Structure 1
Amino acid sequence: METIKHKILRNICYTELVYQRINKKLGMAFSKFEIEILIRKVLEDTALENYEKIGKNFYIINKHHNITVTINTSTFRVITVNRIKKE
C-alpha cells in the first residue's frame, strides 16, 4: 500500500513563483535545484504522523529542519514553506 508520503514524493511539483516565495520566506538565496533537494530531504525525513491533511492542503511539519511545507492535495504542487514559530 502506497502511503501519502510516497505519493507526494513521487508527484511533487513546483511553479516558478514558488521558488521565489520559498527563498523569501526562509530568507535564503537557494537555486531551484537546492530548493528541490531541501524539500525532498524534509519530506523524506518527516515521519508519516507529521503529514496532516487540512482542507485542500497537506501540511508537513518537520521540527528538525524547523519548517512546515504546504502542498496542494490534488496537484501535489508546493505552495509555500514556513519557518516554525518558536513558542
Structure 2
Amino acid sequence: MRTPASQRALLVKISENVCYTELVYQRVNKKLSVDWSHSETEAWVQAILRDPDSLVEQRGKNYYVANQRRKSQLTVNSHNYRLITVNRLSK
C-alpha cells in the first residue's frame, strides 16, 4: 500500500502527463451520461486528480484513481498516461 505522500506525488505525475484520445472523450460522455466539451472533460479529470481525497492504485499496467466525493473512478494507462475510461462508483 502506498503512503499518502507517495500517492500525492503519483497523482501529480498523472495530472501533469494525462492525455486523451477522441474515443475517450466520447466514452466519458457516454459512461457519465453527460455532453461535455473536450475542455470540460479535461477540467473534470484534473479536478479528480488534484483532489486530496482521491486515491490511486496501480494494478497491472493501469492506474485506478478513485474519488468517493465525485463517485467516480478513472482508469489511466501507467506507461503512456492515456485516460482509458471512467466509471461511476456505487458507494
The TM-score, its normalising length taken from structure 2, stands at 0.87
Superposition misfits of 4+ residues, deviation over 2 angstroms: none
Matches within 5 A, 1:32-71: 32-47=38-53, 50-71=55-76
Question: Identity over the aligned pairs, expressed in percent?
Answer: 42
RMSD (Å) for aligned C-alpha atoms: 1.7
1:26 maps to which of 29, 32, 35? 32
Equivalents in 1 of 2:53, 2:70: separation in Å? 13
Instruction: Select which of 7, 24, 30 maps to 2:13.
Output: 7
- TM-score, normalisation: structure 1: 0.91
The whole-number CA distance in structure 2 between the counterparts of 1:35 and 1:55 is 25
- 2:20 & 2:52 partners in 1: Cα distance? 19
The unaligned stretches of length 5 or more in structure 1 are none
Paired residues in the alignment total 85
